[in-house]
Amino acid sequence: MPAIGTKDALTEFRENLRAAPKRILETAFRTGLPTTDRSRSTFVFGNVFLHLHSVRTHRWSLRWLTTAGLGIATLAAFLITLVTGVLLMFYYKPYPEVAYQSIKDIHFVVPTGRFIRNLHRWAANVMVVTVILHMARVFYTAAYRRPREYNWLIGIALLVVTLALSFTGYLLPWDQLAYWAITIGANIAQSPREVTDALGITEWFDPGGLQRLLLLGSDTVGEEALIRFYLLHVMLLPLVLAALLAVHFWRVRKDGGLARPDDADDILARERREETYPVFTEQPQKTYHLAAIVRGRTPAVGRGPENTVPSMPHLFYAEFGVLMLTVAVCLLLSLLWDAPLKELANPNVPENPAKAPWYFLGLQEMVSFSAFMGGIGVPTIVLIGLGLIPYLDREAEGTGRWFGGPGGWPLVRLSLLFGFAAALGVEAFAIRFGWLREWFPNIHQLAITVFNPGTVLTALYAAFSIWAMKRHNSTRAGALALFTCFLCGFTVLTVIGTYFRGPNWEFFWSPADWPGH
């Protein structure tokens, strides 16, 4: 017998059943619709995905000019490749010839297959572009400085993984372009032999051969290589990328949000057109240990942190905006241009010219002078140089400001001039007059490995940056010069490799001048 005043179990069961949908929602989103600043905060830190953000965002971070949304655009492009990549895996078969046929099926038979593949390819391209632009933004706003040095290193690792993902994806269609790009890539991995052979020690010490063997799983590009690249492309590298991304985002928050100049609040006050944004509209219920949230010397007592707005919704709207824009750009590109698919791979006839994807053509241009220096030596120097930037430039002037620091925009302009001139000059010289092998056919290979257009350009840039450092008596000025030169060199080599190299890697003003086959 139930006690008086209580419902019997059956009624309660019925009521619970009826209330279940509402309660499931309530338990999923504990706060309900966030209407106050406090519930907005709970909304963010109560959600495992959102809590990578801090609950409040400084208004400086929301200015369009601060980031141009490049980091989020990169993430958005990655998410697109993730979704479309999983879709492509429904049909793709990683076995030579079968792989080619399955890509053909995806292109011609599978419903929406062509579109999804286009989207995958374009998003991958967009990702490479935005990741480079994002790096440039962080560099030019001097946002890599203390306490964000380590996150810059993570970013460099992310750049490398992004390029590795693109490279491994390039082989999968198993067409002529893929096959020969990977043959070249695998032999670049083997190119330390250029040095060990010249020294005559390859028999005992052969790191190049080992790298190639590990990459290809065989001594030719075949089924073993394809399955390895597939594994790297769909499993290993995405996992590494996801782990690094998590650290990257987490550190953005833990390092105090985006870098901003000391007088950011003054600048915002001058720019501000409307009244103050709401600070805490009620006393915060949650108490923090002060030391945990305040980095500055004077804790804000009795008021909310100034010039911040709740991340929900202000930051999230901005992020969704960038996401939608990225999706729109990728959709448009996929509708306009199809991803290429050449004829089936033929191990006996190289594609002529055999070109890697555009972002590797700068490398390929350097490789056409020396395989080891162009493919491994100079890129390693560049990566080490980029990684060391925040540890060599420990100054404080100009943080958070575009082209901030001694030298500023005039120095960047001069560096642009020098960077383009040096790259074009060295290239023009090598194209017009050839290089050591043509002049002295019997010259020792090590001489070319050490002294070739790639290393000459690197040395010129290093010298220029030392000059800039001396002139402005500032490490930041040296960094500004070097990074700008690096961008110029990358651009010039990439453009020459893409548009001005034809059959036999000879220089042509236009593809219309290429000799017929």
Q: Summarize as ranges the residues that interact with other proteins (CB under 8 A).
A: 180, 183-184, 186-188, 191, 194, 197-198, 210, 213-214, 217-220, 222-224, 228, 347-354, 364, 367-371, 434, 437-438, 441, 445, 448-449, 503-506
Q: Pick between residue 442 and residue 510 the one whose CB is nearest to other proteins.
A: 442
The token duo for 160 is 């490398």
Q: Pick between residue 310 and residue 454 the one whose CB is nearest to other proteins.
A: 454
DSSP 258: S
Least distance to other proteins, CB of residue 224, Å: 6
Question: Residue 217: which region, alpha, beta or left (left: phi > 0; alpha: psi -120 to 50)?
Answer: left
Least distance to other proteins, CB of residue 218, Å: 5
Q: List, as one string, the DSSP characters of 333-368.
A: HHHHSPPP--SBP-TTS--SS----GGGHHHHHHHT
Q: Pick between residue 109 and residue 214 the one whose CB is nearest to other proteins.
A: 214
Q: How far apart are CA 27 and CA 424, in angstroms?
A: 63
Q: How far apart are CA 238 and CA 243, in angstroms?
A: 9
| Cβ atoms < 10 Å from Cβ of 314 | 18
Q: SS3 letters for 5-48?
A: CCCCHHHHHHHHHHHHHHHHHHHHCCCCCCCCHHHHHHHHHCCC
Q: Pick between residue 162 and residue 176 the one whose CB is nearest to other proteins.
A: 176
Q: Pick between residue 203 and residue 275 the one whose CB is nearest to other proteins.
A: 203
Least distance to other proteins, CB of residue 461, Å: 21
Q: Pick between residue 38 and residue 193 the one whose CB is nearest to other proteins.
A: 193
- Report cis status (omega within 30 of 0) of the bond before 147: yes
Least distance to other proteins, CB of residue 456, Å: 15
The 10 Å CB-count burial string (b at 16+, else e) for 468-504 is bbeebebbbbbbbbbbbbbbbbbebbbebbbebbbee
Q: Pick between residue 156 and residue 198 the one whose CB is nearest to other proteins.
A: 198
Least distance to other proteins, CB of residue 373, Å: 10
| Cβ atoms < 10 Å from Cβ of 138 | 22
Q: SS3 letters for 142-164?
A: CCCCCCCHHHHHHHHHHHHHHHH
Q: Pick between residue 243 and residue 269 the one whose CB is nearest to other proteins.
A: 243
Q: Pick between residue 349 and residue 466 the one whose CB is nearest to other proteins.
A: 349
Least distance to other proteins, CB of residue 430, Å: 11
Q: How far apart are CA 388 and CA 156, in angstroms?
A: 10
Q: How far apart are CA 20 and CA 64, in angstroms?
A: 43
Q: How far apart are CA 159 and CA 148, in angstroms?
A: 17
Least distance to other proteins, CB of residue 92, Å: 21
Contact 88, 117 (CB under 8 A): yes
Least distance to other proteins, CB of residue 323, Å: 37
Least distance to other proteins, CB of residue 189, Å: 10
